[in-house]
């Protein structure tokens, strides 16, 4: 085409969404502009030079004003970065559709309430485009797609064209006429069908006279399986077709376009049982067929606490009850059995079959992770979460602890427990950390060398439960971040029941660390010769993370993330006249029984294709907007384990320390949304935050601009943390049994400490039951806001679980 237009210098593309191929071809030859406009407003409403940006960037508005609102609720603006429907305001907006009042009413709307406030009552015209967009960092608009062209599978909306585009990139495929969502009377959900023309199709399929869809051979099913595996690396499960149909010829309309309607009608004629001949997966769980698959299956069974028979090689790790924390435990256990793979492999490949394929044959030697020795008595910098802590408490505090109480399932010698505790502190230097306030007002940390005084081990004599509680209270006030200890162990023996109480300052450990502590203590008590597996030291990791941030991470944009300011937030919860401190709070427990918990995290999460943390987050948000329809949805800050790796050589899966990240989940929803829609929105928002919020949170403190942006100066409304399952203390034969959180809280802090949020929600699965622990200000109006919301949350979870009996 350029030969026909040799003097062409600038090309403006509009009318249809620009494709990657369009951008790739033309940007090398001319100045390429991406233009967005609609007939109801103006041919050009936004425009952008796309030489240095993605093809979906439609730029900035010209002669109009653009707004982004929540889908199906134009009375609510989305937060920056969230996906919503584009509204256009200005003199170029049309007035109506001729002789079509119903369509006019839906699209040409009166000013929403928020716009009337902005315009101070002056009228203006607004058009709902039906297009989904989101803001980029520079304020330009990113085009996502048509709201009404998206399809919905298992509660998830997405563009079929995106799946088709990726299929066309595969060498095995000559052409992809279409991907369609076929309804089925035999299933509750529609299913995705991919029509493909495979290369060398004569060898793959049996051609029948005049048949549009050819009969598959084993070779074709193998080909379809390979295609499906590749798609799983790119898309979540709901976007991956379950049926692949080989075509003998292309079907076209009179305008020479793919005839999607006839393809959809064709597949609608088939019985579901007939289509199963084209399916690449069996309904029955497939057993392992290689030694690698067998070993992985045993690892999953051990870590997840489920039987071998319940684990098929094609099953999703997350649908079996796994989460990001247990994924780390799987990686560690698998490595000890000679199976080297990463957390990223589990996140991306999901199944035993795919992971085993990457691992290949069993290695002759077990690979060892990169471990570097710590340097004692040498100051080094804080990690982002530690920086956040000292922002909140500039003078530090001796009482900001995590503690755990476990009971022994069988009698052990006191000396064996003491020996194990000593070796634990010797092996994990972070349990000997100290913190020092420097002359410049900044805190630093260092690792003390091992000595008998660097931690505390006691075996107090007790005659009653009251005495145990008294000693636990003493231990909770005994830690000292500056001079030590930061970790203590108390061994009790009351009426023949041995119990172990361990407490550490939160600066030195987190929930993942406690799993390591429990595993190492159990192994070393039972086997004095056991050598705990170590990974990269916390000290080295902290230094490498700071260096990486300074070179590669840009400071995060400054956004107003909370839907209410602090004054309005306090007023809403009824706590405007109460100090928001640890001593001024209460905690409520709600629990789902084992049967409902299993249903919730089994059939329902599989149907929606969401991870447990995403489902729980969605339930919290859904119950909030349904309970409080008069106010905007709250911004919930997610907590993640923070052990993300930016380099394959970095492994902290068995490192003790405080790694957590804290990040805002920009999931904008309204009271009109179904739970499935809320779950999809939460899933998209959580997964859009790279590396589970690690990049965002780290870049606040370590970035290329060498500037630190405070993360701890604004009160958050809600924080949410899902701790997953503590399978290692619930398995048959385990040495420890954990005390329920209802009777022994995991966190312990000084009463005068300011709290981070109005509501702190912590959830965990213990003894097969989902528990929610909601901590709130004691001034909260419980009858007006807290009780109705918690009642709705419980009802929401129970209804979900019951609906998938």
Mean pLDDT of 547-556: 88
Total tally of structural domains belonging to the chain: 5
3-state SS class at 113: helix
Q: Measured between alpha carbons, how far is residue 41 from residues 77, 108, 149, 297, 304 in Å?
A: 21, 11, 21, 58, 56
4 belongs to a structural domain? no
Give every strand in the sheet of 585-592, ordered side by side: 585-592, 769-777, 757-766, 716-725, 636-640, 661-665
Q: Which of 72, 186, 65 is nearest to 122 (CA)?
A: 65
**Spatial separation of the C-alpha atoms in residues 131 and 150, rounded to whole Å:** 11
In the chain, the N- to C-terminal Cα span, in Å, equals 60
**Longest alpha-carbon distance in the chain:** 97
579 belongs to a structural domain? yes
The DSSP letter of residue 741 is: T
Contact 451, 483 (CB under 8 A): no
pLDDT of 182: 63
Q: Are both 494 and 513 inside the same structural domain? A: yes
pLDDT > 70: percent of the chain? 85
Confidence of residue 188 (pLDDT cuts 50, 70, 90): very low
Mean pLDDT of 764-771: 86
pLDDT > 50? residue 361 = yes
Confidence of residue 541 (pLDDT cuts 50, 70, 90): very high
Q: Write out the H or E segment, with its range, that includes residue 552.
A: helix 538-552
Mean pLDDT of 207-217: 68
3-state SS class at 545: helix
Which range has the worst mean pLDDT, 43-57, 352-366, 409-423, 608-622?
352-366
Give me the residue label for tokens 């109705």. Answer: 788
Give me the residue label for tokens 């103006």. Answer: 42
Angle between helix axes 511-526 and 414-427 (nearest 10 degrees) is: 130
Q: Write out the H or E segment, with its range, that includes residue 645.
A: none
pLDDT of 366: 46
Query: CATH number, domain at 234?
Result: 3.30.300.30
Q: Are both 335 and 415 inside the same structural domain? A: no
pLDDT of 338: 82
pTM of the model: 0.63
Handedness of CA 364, 365, 366, 370 (dihedral sign): negative
285 belongs to a structural domain? no
Give me the residue label for tokens 């006839």. Answer: 262
What phi, psi does 408 have (nearest 5°)? -75, 140
Q: Examine the fold and report which residue of 101, 121, 149 is the final residue of a domain before the chain moves on.
A: 149
Q: Are both 310 and 210 inside the same structural domain? A: no
Can you spell out the DSSP letters for 293-355?
Answer: HHHHHHHHHHHHT--GGG--TTS-TTTTT--HHHHHHHHHHHHHTT----HHHHHHH-SHHHH
Q: pLDDT tens-digit profile of 382-416?
A: 999 999 999 999 999 988 999 999 999 999 999 99
pLDDT of 651: 87
Which range has the worst mean pLDDT, 176-190, 509-523, 581-595, 726-740?
176-190
The DSSP letter of residue 107 is: H
Q: pLDDT tens-digit profile of 425-478?
A: 999 999 999 999 999 989 999 999 999 889 999 999 999 989 999 999 999 999
Q: Are both 208 and 221 inside the same structural domain? A: yes
Angle between helix axes 218-234 and 160-168 (nearest 10 degrees) is: 120
Supply 11's token pair: 């090309």
Supply 598's token pair: 């299993």
Q: Are both 37 and 77 inside the same structural domain? A: yes
Q: Are both 193 and 237 inside the same structural domain? A: yes
Work out the mean pLDDT of the chain and round it to a whole number: 83
Mean pLDDT of 473-497: 93
Mean pLDDT of 304-319: 81
pLDDT > 70? residue 185 = no
Contact 487, 421 (CB under 8 A): no
196 belongs to a structural domain? yes
**Spatial separation of the C-alpha atoms in residues 580 and 561, rounded to whole Å:** 20
Q: Examine the fold and report which residue of 91, 122, 149 is the final residue of a domain before the chain moves on.
A: 149
Q: Are both 754 and 637 inside the same structural domain? A: yes
Which residues have CB under 8 Å from 763's CB, separation 6+? Answer: 616, 720, 721, 722, 723, 770, 771, 772, 773
Q: Are both 82 and 172 inside the same structural domain? A: no
Q: Are both 586 and 706 inside the same structural domain? A: yes
Query: CATH number, domain at 708?
Result: 3.30.559.30
pLDDT of 669: 86
Q: pLDDT tens-digit profile of 108-156?
A: 988 888 898 888 878 888 999 888 898 988 899 988 877 755 565 654 5
Q: Which domain holds residue 420?
A: 384-539
Q: Examine the fold and report which residue of 250, 278, 306 is the final residue of a domain before the chain moves on.
A: 278
Q: pLDDT tens-digit profile of 5-61?
A: 788 889 998 877 787 667 877 888 889 999 998 888 888 899 999 888 888 899 999
Q: Are both 402 and 347 inside the same structural domain? A: no
**Spatial separation of the C-alpha atoms in residues 279 and 439, rounded to whole Å:** 68
pLDDT of 288: 87
169 belongs to a structural domain? yes
Q: pLDDT tens-digit profile of 555-604?
A: 876 655 566 788 888 899 988 888 888 888 899 999 998 888 888 887 66
For residues 470-482, b (16+ Cβ closer than 10 Å) or e, as one string? ebbeebbeebebe
Query: CATH number, domain at 532?
Result: 3.30.559.10
Q: Are both 338 and 420 inside the same structural domain? A: no
**Spatial separation of the C-alpha atoms in residues 654 and 641, rounded to whole Å:** 13
21 belongs to a structural domain? yes
pLDDT of 490: 96
**Spatial separation of the C-alpha atoms in residues 559 and 711, rounded to whole Å:** 12
pLDDT of 156: 57
61 belongs to a structural domain? yes
581 belongs to a structural domain? yes
Which range has the worst mean pLDDT, 294-303, 490-499, 673-682?
673-682
Which residues have CB under 8 Å from 596's CB, separation 6+? Answer: 770, 797, 798, 801, 802
Q: Are both 522 and 388 inside the same structural domain? A: yes
Upstream peptide bond of 485 is cis (omega within 30 degrees of 0): yes
In the beta sheet, which residues pair with residue 91? none
pLDDT of 216: 74
Q: Write out the H or E segment, with its range, that includes residue 802.
A: helix 787-803
Which of 317-321, 635-639, 714-718 has the largest mean confidence?
635-639
Query: CATH number, domain at 348?
Result: 1.10.1200.10
Query: CATH number, domain at 37?
Result: 3.40.50.12780
pLDDT > 90: percent of the chain? 32
Q: pLDDT tens-digit profile of 662-682?
A: 988 888 888 888 887 888 888
Which residues have CB under 8 Å from 706's CB, separation 6+? Answer: 550
Mean pLDDT of 77-103: 86
């Amino acid at each position: 085409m350029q030969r026909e237009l040799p003097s062409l210098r600038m090309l403006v593309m509009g009318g249809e969404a620009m494709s990657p191929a369009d951008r790739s071809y033309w940007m090398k030859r001319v100045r390429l502009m991406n233009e967005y406009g609609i007939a109801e407003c103006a041919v050009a409403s936004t425009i952008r030079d796309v030489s240095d940006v993605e093809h979906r960037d439609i730029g900035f508005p010209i002669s109009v004003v653009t707004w982004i609102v929540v889908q199906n609720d134009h009375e609510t603006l989305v937060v920056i970065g969230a996906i919503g429907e584009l509204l256009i305001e200005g003199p170029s907006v049309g007035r109506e559709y001729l002789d079509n009042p119903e369509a006019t009413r839906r699209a040409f709307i009166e000013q929403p309430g928020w716009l009337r406030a902005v315009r101070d009552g002056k009228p203006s015209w607004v058009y709902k485009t039906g297009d989904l967009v989101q803001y980029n960092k520079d304020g330009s608009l990113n085009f996502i797609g048509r709201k009404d062209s998206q399809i919905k599978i298992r509660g998830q909306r997405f563009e079929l064209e995106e799946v088709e585009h990726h299929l066309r990139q595969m060498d095995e495929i000559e052409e992809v006429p279409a991907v369609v969502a076929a309804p089925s009377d035999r299933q509750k959900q529609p299913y995705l069908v991919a029509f493909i023309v495979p290369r060398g199709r004569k060898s793959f399929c049996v051609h029948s006279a005049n048949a549009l869809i050819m009969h598959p051979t084993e070779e074709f099913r193998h080909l379809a399986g390979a295609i499906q595996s590749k798609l799983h690396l790119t898309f979540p499960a709901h976007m991956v077709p379950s049926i692949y149909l080989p075509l003998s010829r292309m079907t076209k309309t009179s305008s020479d376009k793919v005839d999607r309607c006839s393809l959809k009608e064709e597949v609608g004629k088939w019985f579901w049982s007939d289509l199963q001949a084209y399916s690449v997966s069996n309904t029955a769980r497939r057993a392992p067929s290689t030694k690698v698959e067998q070993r992985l299956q045993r690892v999953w069974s051990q870590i997840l606490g489920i039987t071998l028979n319940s684990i098929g090689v094609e099953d999703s790790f997350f649908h079996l009850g796994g989460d990001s924390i247990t994924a780390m435990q799987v990686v560690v256990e698998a490595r000890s059995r000679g199976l080297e793979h990463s957390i990223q492999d589990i996140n991306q490949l999901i199944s035993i079959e795919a992971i085993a394929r990457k691992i290949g044959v069993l290695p002759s030697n077990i690979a060892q992770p990169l471990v570097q020795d710590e340097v004692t008595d040498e100051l080094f910098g804080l990690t982002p979460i530690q920086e956040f802590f000292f922002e909140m408490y500039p003078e530090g505090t001796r009482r900001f602890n995590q503690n755990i109480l476990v009971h022994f399932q069988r009698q052990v010698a006191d000396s064996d427990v003491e020996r194990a505790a000593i070796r634990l502190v010797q092996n994990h230097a972070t349990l000997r950390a100290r913190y020092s306030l420097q002359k410049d007002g900044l805190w630093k940390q260092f690792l003390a060398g091992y000595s008998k005084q660097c931690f505390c081990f006691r075996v107090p004599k007790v005659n009653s439960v009251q005495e145990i509680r008294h000693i636990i209270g003493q231990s909770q006030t005994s830690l000292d971040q500056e001079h030590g200890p930061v970790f203590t162990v108390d061994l009790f023996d009351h009426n023949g029941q041995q119990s172990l109480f361990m407490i550490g300052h939160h600066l030195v450990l987190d929930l993942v660390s406690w799993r390591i502590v429990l595993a190492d203590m159990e192994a070393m008590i039972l086997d004095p010769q056991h050598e705990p597996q170590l990974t990269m030291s916390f000290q080295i990791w902290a230094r490498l993370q700071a260096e990486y941030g300074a070179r590669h991470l840009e400071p995060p944009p400054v956004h107003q993330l909370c839907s209410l300011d602090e004054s309005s937030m306090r007023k809403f919860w009824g706590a405007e006249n109460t100090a928001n401190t640890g001593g001024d709070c209460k905690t409520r427990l709600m629990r789902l029984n084992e049967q409902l918990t299993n249903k919730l995290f089994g059939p329902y999460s599989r149907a929606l294709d969401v991870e447990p943390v995403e489902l729980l987050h969605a339930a919290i948000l859904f119950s909030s907007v349904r309970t409080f329809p008069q106010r905007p949805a709250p911004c919930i800050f997610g907590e993640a384990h923070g052990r993300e790796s930016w380099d394959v050589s970095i492994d902290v899966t068995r490192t003790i320390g405080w790694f957590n990240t804290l990040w805002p989940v920009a999931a904008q929803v309204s009271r009109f949304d179904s739970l499935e829609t809320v779950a999809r929105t939460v899933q998209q928002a959580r997964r859009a935050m790279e590396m589970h919020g690690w990049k965002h949170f780290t870049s606040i403190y370590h970035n290329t601009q060498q500037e630190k942006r405070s993360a701890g100066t604004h009160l958050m409304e809600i924080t949410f943390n899902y701790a997953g399952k503590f399978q290692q203390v619930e398995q048959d034969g385990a040495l420890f049994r954990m005390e329920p959180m209802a009777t022994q809280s995991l966190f312990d802090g000084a009463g005068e400490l300011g709290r981070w949020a109005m509501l702190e929600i912590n959830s965990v699965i213990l003894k097969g039951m989902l528990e929610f622990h909601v901590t709130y200000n004691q001034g909260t109006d419980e009858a007006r806001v807290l009780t109705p919301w918690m009642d709705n949350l419980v009802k929401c979870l129970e209804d979900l679980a019951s609906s998938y009996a």
